[in-house]
Amino acid sequence: MKSLSLFLHLAPLALGSTRPSLNQRARNDSSTAFVSTVDLQTGAKCACGKLAASYSDSVFFPGSANYTAQATEYWDIRADLDPGCIFLPASADQVADAVSVFTTCQAQFAVRGGGHMNFPGSNNIDGGVLLAFSNMKDYKFHNDSIDVSPGMTWYDVYSALEPYGRAAIGGRLKTIGVPGLTLIGGVSYFINKYGFAMDNVLSYDVVLGNGTQVIANATSNPDLFWALKGGANNFGIVTKFTLKTYSMPHISTTIQQFNETAVYDFIKATCDWVVADSEPTIAAGSVLDISYNTTTGSVSPLLLGVQEGISNPPSMFANFTAIPGVSKTNNVTTSKQWASNLDSPKQMFRVMFGMHSMYPDPDVLYTMYQTWKSAIDQIADVAGLYPTFVLNISPASAARVAQTNGIGNVWGLDDEPTIWWQFSTGWDNAEDDLRVEACIRQLTEYLHGINKKNGLARDFIYMGDAGEWQDVFPVLPAENVQRMKEIRGKYDPLGTFSRLNWGGFKLGV
Ligand SMILES: Cc1cc2nc3c(=O)[nH]c(=O)nc-3n(C[C@H](O)[C@H](O)[C@H](O)COP(=O)(O)OP(=O)(O)OC[C@H]3O[C@@H](n4cnc5c(N)ncnc54)[C@H](O)[C@@H]3O)c2cc1C
């Protein structure tokens, strides 16, 4: 099932040796006068020693079998690094202990949930401490909601909900982690009616940068509650997500594969759908991509369509069903069963992402597809090249969920349909890193530049699809960015999540 496993890979660039030391990075900002004085090795040695003294069975050092197994729990091989030690906490209290140790020791650290964010340093660290959630997989079902621990994947969540005929708003592939996806936004199969995964979180349990634990919801720390809806890993470590659930005993699915002659119609059906679906009554969503095999020259558009209910074939994908295709398979199933076939195994390949958003225009998108194909031809000799042109839809109705739920989110998206176009490119060998990265980065920004000139470009950049060079916060509404910085100053005055936990998409000074 390699094609299905590979179709949706979204973001990476290497920080490695150019990373400044903690001392170099120490600085004052509006929220804190914290200055760190400990280097990477000294901090990690202190923290690993203290953690091992308290939790000897859950701290692993290089050379041990457990360390080796944990060190490769990453989807993108580029994210494999060499932490000084790996700590697997078993409870929120242990996470809080660890954060206290990190601040006491001034130890640099990384946090890993499902391990799918694919750029080096976002979820792993050379020499520092890796805190990984592999031992925190418990959940509690409450019918209208479910409490989920940060070690769970979306398949775990859908499996927990299946006996009750209910579903949560989460990831589209089996092994994506709950924490990373939910903190960056979260595109699901039910986006048009229920919005993003973050819009469906009722409460977060959070360990702050000084090791204290707080709850963030509509009544307790509501400012932090808002900031966690799209604010990523800038405010604390979430140890519990309380997610809304919906009655959804069955879903109707379609898998449709096409050949190159259908590319224009496939793109047009995507644009027509996202524009037309402005007042949805049926929750529906998709994975849409076009893969290009440079060895055979074949181009394969693929639709994975899902909607709530038992209509068979699923009515929301009629525009695609009308296009002559290579194969079309419809089914009525459950979210758990559907996800069980859509794995994205760890250590798949090296991957570069790049994305931007735009108003849906099929002619321009088709030209972009042709330009992408020509650019990929120039690197066709790269071993293991796996290029994919991904089309994610963001209907106006998805933005309206946050506009009308009384909470909002940090994105503040406008009430209009957009296409989030993305290049996801896999390859085999480290020697080709710079070449592939340069190609994708230049191509992405070139096409976005053209769309800016023709008025189709939109500013929003989705963290789940972005390349690591892309600065995702400055493109959000300025007042939201300012508010996030104030909230960060209030809840993390020591700068634990900007200076010690520096990887991933950060707000900046
Ligand atoms: C194959 C594939 C399919 C994808 N499909 C989708 C999709 O359907 N919809 C979508 O929206 N996105 C999708 N994405 C993007 C995905 O949502 C992000 O990569 C997301 O970060 C993955 O979450 P994770 O827990 O697996 O990641 P990790 O890599 O474990 O974590 C991501 C970031 O969150 C931080 N983090 C992790 N846990 C916590 C915590 N408890 N508290 C605070 N910070 C934490 C990490 O430090 C890291 O910076 C996909 C990505 C891939 C590679």
Q: Are 161 and 339 in contact (CB under 8 A)?
A: no
In angstroms, what is the span from residue 132 Cα to ligand 1's centroid?
13
Distance, CA of 11 to CA of 4 (rounded, Å) = 18
For residue 354 and ligand 1, the question of a CB distance below 6 A is answered with no
Which domains are delineated in the chain? Answer: 38-135 (3.30.43.10), 139-247+474-491 (3.30.465.10), 251-458 (3.40.462.20)
CA atoms within 13 A on the CB side of 250: 10
Give me the helix-helix angle, 40-54 and 92-105, nearest 10°: 140
CA-derived radius of gyration, the chain: 22
Q: 261 C-alpha to center of ligand 1: Å?
A: 34
Q: Are strands 59-60 and 129-132 parallel, antiparallel or unpaired?
A: unpaired
| Ligand 1 contact via 151 beta carbon (within 6 Å) | no
* SS3 label, residue 332: strand
CA pair distance 4, 173, nearest whole angstrom: 10
Contact 365, 374 (CB under 8 A): no
Q: Environment class of residue 321 by beta-carbon count within 10 Å: exposed (0-12), middle (13-18) or buried (19+)?
A: middle
- pLDDT of 278 reads 72
The SS3 of residue 238 is strand
Q: Which residues of the chain have pLDDT under 70?
A: 1-37
Look at ligand 1, atom 34, and give the residue with the nearest C-alpha: 180
- Kindly state if the Cβ of 118 falls inside 6 Å of ligand 1: yes
Crossing angle of helices 362-377/263-276, nearest 10°?
Answer: 140
In sequence order, the 6+-apart residues with CB closer than 8 A to the CB of 268 are 362
**Does the beta carbon of 10 lie inside 6 Å of ligand 1?**
yes
Q: What is the pLDDT of residue 280?
A: 87
Ligand 1, atom 36, lies closest to the CA of 180
Q: Are 394 and 280 in contact (CB under 8 A)?
A: no
Q: Is the CB of 182 under 6 A from ligand 1?
A: no
Report the separation in Å between the CA atom of 153 and the middle of ligand 1, taken as the mean of its atom positions: 10
> For residue 145, which of 168, 175, 122, 171 has the smallest C-alpha distance?
168
Mutate to test the pocket of ligand 1, among 76, 111, 200, 228 (most ligand atoms within 8 A of CB): 111
- Residue whose CA is at the smallest distance from ligand 1 atom 38: 113
Cα of 179 vs centre of ligand 1, distance in Å, is: 6
Is 111's C-beta closer than 6 angstroms to any atom of ligand 1?
Answer: yes
User: Which CA distances in Å does 125 have to 18, 107, 351?
Assistant: 13, 11, 18
Helix (H) or strand (E) holding 70: helix 65-70
Residues 35 and 245: their CA atoms lie apart, in Å, by 44
Ligand 1 centroid vs 115 CA: distance in angstroms? 7
Which residues, 6+ apart, have CB-to-CB distance to 142 below 8 Å?
none
Cα of 116 to ligand 1 centre, how many Å? Answer: 5
Give the DSSP per-residue string, 341-405: T----TT-BEEEEEEEEE---HHHHHHHHHHHHHHHHTTTTSTT-EEEEEEEEE-HHHHHHHHHS
The residues, ordered by sequence, that sit 6+ positions from 389 with a Cβ below 8 Å of its Cβ are 289, 290, 291, 292, 368, 369, 372, 421, 422, 423
What integer pLDDT is reported at residue 323 of this predicted model?
A: 98
The pLDDT of residue 343:
87
- Asked if 138 and 149 touch (Cβ cutoff 8 Å), the reply is yes
pLDDT at 70: 97
CA distance 490 to 508: 15
Q: What one-character-per-residue DSSP string does 82-94 give? A: --SEEE--SSHHH
pTM above threshold 0.85 = yes
Please work out whether the CB of residue 498 comes within 6 Å of at least one atom of ligand 1. Answer: no
Is residue 390 in contact with ligand 1, taking CB distance under 6 Å? Answer: no
pLDDT confidence of residue 34: 57
